[in-house]
Structure 1
Amino acid sequence: MSALPAEDDALLQAATDLIRRRYAVGRHHIAAALRTRSGKIVTGLHLDTYVGRASVCAEAVAVGQAMADGAGAADPITAIISVRHPRPTEANQSIQVVAPCGICREMLRDFAPDARVILNVDGALASYGTADLLPLKYHRQP
């Protein structure tokens, strides 16, 4: 993967450190880290459940924690990255940067509309705006 700017590398490291510490088969396999404009880094851990609809993505956990800690209009989310820990049966045991799911893309457009999302595109890390990942977003009628 390509080199990241230092501030984005810190996000990658935070997410990687979290998933290395907390990975558990059938419970936690994705971690996310985000940064707010003030430079605060917040992490989130995927919560897998036996009833899939009750599972919560790492990105949503991180955004919720950031909001609880005061992120918002005065200190918006500026960047986010997610990583996946491989299952023990997989040949490649390296932690990889992964893209947010469709629901998380929708949530990021709502809560972090100007954020950059760092992705692995053909083996190189690149960042995209949330609007690039979810064009023509649904909006409620007033």
Structure 2
Amino acid sequence: MAADPDFDALFAAASRLQPRAYAPYSRFKVGAALLADDGTVHAGCNVENAAYPVGTCAEAGAIAAMIAAGGTAIRAILVFGEGDELVTPCGACRQRIREFASPETPVAIAGPEGIRARFTLEQLLPASFGPANLPR
């Protein structure tokens, strides 16, 4: 069994980028960080667009950074946002995460006070459609 992911490192990376998010329309800033299969941490923040809602989610930014660096799989991911409600990945990001993660992949949800909840990807996206569903 793999060691527990270093959620402290993911929290530090996501919380560092969350204030840098470009969110002039929603004013809802989100940061995300993931642990790649090679042990590296990649982070992203949401970037909105005047052609709202054509922006990019923080999770998508972190995934793009992982791919650009040569990573191929997500071992864990943390999403950082503020507010009373949990800031879980949107439906599109759940599917994006699924492309590079297994159903057992841990997904942590955090706010300024720390980690607020932990899920597996399977809990957030049950009976998901993923790469194994398509012939190669």
The TM tier, using the shorter chain, reads: 0.7 to 0.9
What residue is the counterpart of 2:24 in the other structure?
A: 26
What residue is the counterpart of 2:6 in the other structure?
A: 7
Rg: which structure is higher? 1
TM-score, reference length from structure 1? 0.72
- Deviation at residue 6 of structure 1 after TM alignment: 8.0
- Deviation at residue 23 of structure 1 after TM alignment: 4.2
What residue is the counterpart of 2:106 in the other structure?
A: 116
What residue is the counterpart of 2:76 in the other structure?
A: 79
For the structure 1 residues 23 and 107, does the alpha-carbon distance in structure 2 shift closer, same or farther, using more than 3 Å as the test? closer
What residue is the counterpart of 1:128 in the other structure?
A: 119
CA offset digits 1:18-45 (Å, max 9, x no partner): 123x145516711111111332110111
The question of whether the paired residues in 1 share the 8 Å contact of 2:5 and 2:76 is answered with: no
Matches within 5 A, 1:47-126: 47-72=47-72, 76-84=73-81, 98-113=87-102, 114-119=104-109, 125-126=116-117
The question of whether the paired residues in 1 share the 8 Å contact of 2:23 and 2:47 is answered with: no
Rounded Cα–Cα distance in structure 2 between residues aligned with 1:15 and 1:9: 10
Alignment root-mean-square deviation, CA: 2.9
Rounded Cα–Cα distance in structure 2 between residues aligned with 1:134 and 1:68: 25
For the structure 1 residues 66 and 124, does the alpha-carbon distance in structure 2 shift closer, same or farther, using more than 3 Å as the test? closer
> 40-49 vs 123-132, which deviates more?
123-132
- Deviation at residue 85 of structure 1 after TM alignment: 5.0
Rounded Cα–Cα distance in structure 2 between residues aligned with 1:100 and 1:126: 13
For the structure 1 residues 53 and 25, does the alpha-carbon distance in structure 2 shift closer, same or farther, using more than 3 Å as the test? closer
| Unaligned residue ranges in structure 1 (runs of 5+) | 87-91
- Deviation at residue 69 of structure 1 after TM alignment: 0.8
Q: Percent identity?
A: 31
For the structure 1 residues 39 and 26, does the alpha-carbon distance in structure 2 shift closer, same or farther, using more than 3 Å as the test? same
